[in-house]
Chain A
Amino acid sequence: MIAPALLNDNYWTEFKIEPSDIEFIYNLLMEKAEPLPSAVLLRELISHRIEQQKISMQQRTKDKGVYYLPKEQFEKGDHLLFPALDMCTGKVTAVRDGFNPEFENLKVIEVKMDSGEIRSFASNLADHALNTAYEFNEEDPSQKPDAILAAHGDLLKSRLSDALKSHDDLVKIAGSWFPRSLLVDISVGHLNLAEAVLEEANGGPIAIGELMKQIELESDVDDKLLEFSFDLALQDDKRFDEVGPAGETLWFLHDMEPDDVKETPVFLKYTPKEYSHESVQQFLEMFEGNLYDEWETWDSPHLSEKEISISLIYPHWRSGTLPLSNSLKQLFPTAHEAPRVNFTFTDSYTQKKFPGWVVRNQNYICGLTDWYADHEIMPGSLIKVQKGSQPGEILIHYDKSRQNKEWLKTVLIGSDKGIVFAMLKHNINAEFNERMAIAIPDVAAVDEIWSNRIYEKEPINKTILRITRELAKLNPQGQVHAQELYAAVNVVRRCPPGLILAQLLQEPQIAHLGDLYFRFSEKEA
């Protein structure tokens, strides 16, 4: 006997974590006595909810009357529920002896259905398929955790995670949860030892298992529980930082992390400003490839692309970083919780390996200062990245330029800290994006602009107009391309391309010439 569909889609979209769910999870963790990842807890919770719904549905239907099972005998006046007839209900109005050579002692009941119709059913019939227990359809997608996870997984995961976070007694590390009260106590002595071991290893990273081995942390409890307890003790101690990609717990000594990991480089600092994203959307799509900015959300994840080519802007070049835009997030290692993820860059040509860091909250990837310097990379150079063969490895390279020298926009800083652009010939090493390439002969002078926040203090439209005016001088038509302006503005202050476009489009002094070309209006010119 098959029951009707159990839960509709709304059930899961309106899903809220109830106190009884938390109690269920708590009991589950106690019973398993080991930390469980959010995904496992969610699956268990979904199965539990389905089971609860089955019980509740059976109870609800039972209240409407007795299930009609042909093997039972009924009496006049009995209220029956017919599972095989979409849970129709009816009242027995008569009982008579039946005649069928196949079935001895067959009784026939006459039932007045709630619709008013009179129908006859067999009773006292031992051999009939309906006599088997009332079962739910196991193929029904509404009761398959896999199907539910596929359709609503992200939403349910985030709701569960929010609910679990609000319970102080549940702690999470590297994606797994456990009741705090059941954790093993880790002494300060062990933490001090861990610090010494990490210090010895230049800060890390060291995997949790290896760290436990080195400090000889042992206990008679389950290994996983001990590991989890140690992880938590490290997490609660500010000296340590968990830097492993998702699925791996690696520890680093916070003090020994590079400065650019601990604090956002000055060149990347930006306070988001309000502007209409809809008004610039169509223009942003016209930007030529290679433009990735961590403050933009318009670049979609390039799931199919194995390699991404990024044209550097000055702030990233100067900081030795790359933008962690949507597309690049698909390539670089991520983590469940860790705000900083340590990984390895491998130079595709030299096979030289060096550490890199994904700073997730600030959306940048750092560790490239020396590599940029060694390869004479400049703002506008095209940097190519792709996933390596090892987990957490990123291959990086650039294509050598065919020319040794090129005419490039060159930044000249006056004694008044004013910025001027001139076309000068420079040595080049790497291929570059022509619109975004900018030579900076005096980096120290530009640094002074940033450290004194000279341009940062003025309204953004003023900076944009100032730079537009300077770039317009480079061609007789006085035209400026938005992508070129984006690269140039970012030499003096951090600004995402969307904001530049929004300012250009609303600025009365600027005329839009079509495509991404702008110039000063006639009057201004």
Chain B
Amino acid sequence: MTEPVNRPSFVRPTVETLFHIDFAWWKDNDSNWRIFLQSYLCEKHQELFKNQADDVVIDAVDPVTAEVKQVDGLLHELMNHCAKQPEFIDENMPLVAKVFRIFLANGNHPLNAMQLSEMVNRPALTVLTTLTGPQIYKGIRIFQEE
């Protein structure tokens, strides 16, 4: 008897297909991902992380229960502080850069091309074609529910 194998979906993506930053895929496929992310930090956090180890963990505090969870410090600060700054997303950025920053700012909550098109002010089909092109940009991939 053969084991079932998880195969990639061959279903053609539509404007309703959800996307997100697949950090796991990105870590596996780009050794510089952390350096790249560090460049997205705000000035204050650039300074703060300058002398920290790459994989520093921080005690993230839940805003409702105050429960503490240890998380990747760089990602946590980037997504919870730096990406929330008003200048983080610039109107004139290229499409993929803008989409990448949108995901960082919204806590990597999956969005489809239609939703993204309103945020980046470009047609949904253009967003879809760009995100499903041959090159995967900064881990932005189709969201697959576990």
Contact = CB atoms under 8 A, between A and B. Distances in A.
B59 A108 contact: yes
A121 B64 CA distance: 11
A213 interface: no
Contacts of A70: 61, 66
Interface in B37-55: 45, 48
Contact of A102 (B57, B66, B81): B81
A122 B68 contact: yes
B96 interface: no
Interface in B68-103: 68-69, 73, 77, 81
B8 interface: no
Interface string A95-126: 00011111100101000000000011110010
Interface residues of A, number: 21
Interface residues of B, number: 18
Contacts of A122: 59, 61, 66-68
A101 B45 contact: yes
A84 B58 contact: no
A119 B67 CA distance: 7
A98 B59 contact: yes
B63 interface: yes
Interface string A44-69: 00000000000000000000000010
B74 to A, nearest CB: 11
Contact of B64 (A84, A102, A106, A119): A84
A103 B68 CA distance: 12
Given A99-B59, A101-B58, A84 B66 contact: yes
Given A85-B65, A128-B66, A100 B59 contact: yes
A103 B62 CA distance: 13
A186 interface: no
Interface in B106-126: none
B60 interface: yes
Contacts of A121: 65-68
A130 B60 contact: no
A119 B65 CA distance: 11
Contacts of A444: none
21 contacts: A68-B66, A70-B61, A82-B65, A84-B66, A99-B73, A100-B58, A100-B61, A101-B73, A106-B59, A108-B68, A119-B67, A120-B67, A120-B69, A121-B65, A121-B68, A122-B59, A122-B61, A122-B66, A122-B67, A128-B61, A130-B66
Interface of A: 68, 70, 82, 84-85, 98-103, 106, 108, 119-122, 125, 128-130
